[in-house]
Amino acid sequence: MTTEVKWPLLLLLAVLPLQWFVVVGPLRLHIVAMLVFLAIVVLRLRGQAFLPVLRVAAPFVVANVALCVIWLGAAVYHGLGAQQPVQQLAYLAVFVAVGTLVHRGLSDDRWIGVLRWSALVAVTSLLVALSISMAVNGVNAAAVFGQTIASADPQILQQELFRSAFAGFGFNEDSVRGNFRHEVFGALVVAMTMSAACVGLRPFGSVPARRLYVVSMVLGTTLVVLSLSRSIMIAAAAWPLLAVLRGLLGTRITPRLLGGALLAGTGVGVLAATGAMQVLWVRFTQDTGSYEARDGLYERAFENIGANALTGGVATAGESSHNFVLDTWLRTGVFGAVAAVTISVLLLGLLLSLAVNLHREPAWMLPVAAMLLLPLVRMFTAGGGLIPPVSWVGLGLAAGFIVHRRSILRAERESSGDRLTGRPS
């Protein structure tokens, strides 16, 4: 069965970056893909298939359900819309569906073999879609890159390339936002971690396949850098830092770690030689408009919390603090904020637990730990103060791998116990 359902997950990862295409009404293409994926998994699997993921992720699921129920209550009490809490419940269901399918699929080598190409499929899908969008909108990417590097002004790339390319497919020039790129390129990071974990479980046997995989990862990394999305670059950069931590804790420097360091050094050299490094430097150190705006949003958030601490009811549209806990407090009151803190602590605690034990884990658990980085970063940087849809998919992938790893450890303990007691295994 898992072999038959490998294609919907691969298709979901291919469509996830295409977030500037509107299908109908407010529904964008990637949301439709998530809902279709959820429907396929629910129709194909029996209820008990979801139990392994639900058992392991129970605290996280319960905290999210509690948050959404409190949010719905606050929305009814204040006469506000219930659309957003219902959406979050749907995304939570997608999380469980993704985790369940991954957990089941990891027992099938053919399934793993197909999902190794997640990065290549996502990169190709995004490049084709961006090329079409830029051609339709008359965007000259080479000229925009040249202007950006010549002036060391990241705003040129954001306005003239991304915002211009994203217009005309459901969004007009007034409503389209260059900030779409955060989740567009975040979806690439999710696909890259999926590929890396699957390759770790089942390495490529042929040289051409390995080379194509490396090319897809290099292209994905290049696109993430070109996105100029600080939050996505920070989340992606933490992945190699986890690799360094794993090497240091294990007191071993592996050829793979050395190769990664060499590749990273080469990338930095290329960025410096082309002038792109200067653009990145300006983006992080001098392009401070969003930092300053965020300060004002935090001040207003604390003022509104002081006046509405217990029951919330504050509309955050256009006034979001970009902080999961604070925005939840504004919308739902103190009880919703407690649930938001619980969710944040659970995710951060899981990441820290994985990080400090990575040297005891197989290599494929490194990209699994990296899957948690994007959701944590985006929870405290994304407008709206919510877990974005892309991050829900990433969390689902991580849940599936973690449940798989725990089932392996449980089987090893049971086998060891059987040997000690003399029972046949």
Q: Give mean pLDDT, residues 317-333.
A: 87
Q: What is the pLDDT of residue 300?
A: 83
Domain-embedded: residue 77: yes
CA nearest to 317, candidates 303, 302, 304, 327? 327
Q: What is the pLDDT of residue 152?
A: 63
Indicate the average pLDDT of the chain.
Answer: 85
- Has residue 272 got a pLDDT over 50? no
Strand partners, 28: 22
Please write the tens of the pLDDT for every residue from 212-254.
999 999 999 999 988 888 889 889 988 988 988 888 887 555 5
Q: Residues 6 or more apart from 172 whose CB is under 8 A from it?
A: none
Domain-embedded: residue 1: no
Cα–Cα distances in Å, from 210 out to 14, 148, 371? 20, 34, 22
The C-alpha atoms of residue 172 and residue 163 are separated, in whole angstroms, by 10
Please write the tens of the pLDDT for every residue from 180-217.
788 999 999 999 999 999 999 999 999 999 999 999 99
Burial profile 164-185: b = 16 or more Cβ within 10 angstroms, e = fewer: bbbbebbbeeeebebbbbbbbb
Q: Residues 6 or more apart from 251 whose CB is under 8 A from it?
A: none
Q: Decide if 145 contacts 157 (C-beta within 8 A).
A: yes
CA nearest to 380, candidates 334, 304, 323? 323
The C-alpha atoms of residue 99 and residue 35 are separated, in whole angstroms, by 15
- Has residue 17 got a pLDDT over 70? yes
Q: What is the pLDDT of residue 208?
A: 96
The C-alpha atoms of residue 273 and residue 85 are separated, in whole angstroms, by 48
pLDDT bin (cut points 50, 70, 90) of residue 425 is: very low
State what percent of residues in the chain have pLDDT above 90. 55
Q: What is the pLDDT of residue 423?
A: 58
Q: Residues 6 or more apart from 79 whose CB is under 8 A from it?
A: none
CA nearest to 383, candidates 314, 306, 293? 293
Total tally of structural domains belonging to the chain: 1
Q: What is the pLDDT of residue 260?
A: 52
Domain-embedded: residue 425: no
Q: What is the pLDDT of residue 291?
A: 54
pLDDT bin (cut points 50, 70, 90) of residue 320 is: confident
Q: What is the pLDDT of residue 337?
A: 93
The C-alpha atoms of residue 135 and residue 141 are separated, in whole angstroms, by 10
Domain-embedded: residue 423: no
Q: What is the pLDDT of residue 286?
A: 57
- Has residue 284 got a pLDDT over 70? no
Among 104-118, 276-290, 322-336, the range scoring the smallest mean pLDDT is 276-290
Q: Give mean pLDDT, residues 290-303.
A: 72
Q: Give mean pLDDT, residues 254-264.
A: 53
CA nearest to 267, candidates 244, 289, 236? 236
Maximum mean pLDDT: which of 78-82, 174-178, 358-362: 358-362
Domain range for residue 59? Answer: 6-418
Domain-embedded: residue 134: yes
Please write the tens of the pLDDT for every residue from 126-152.
999 999 999 998 988 888 877 776 666
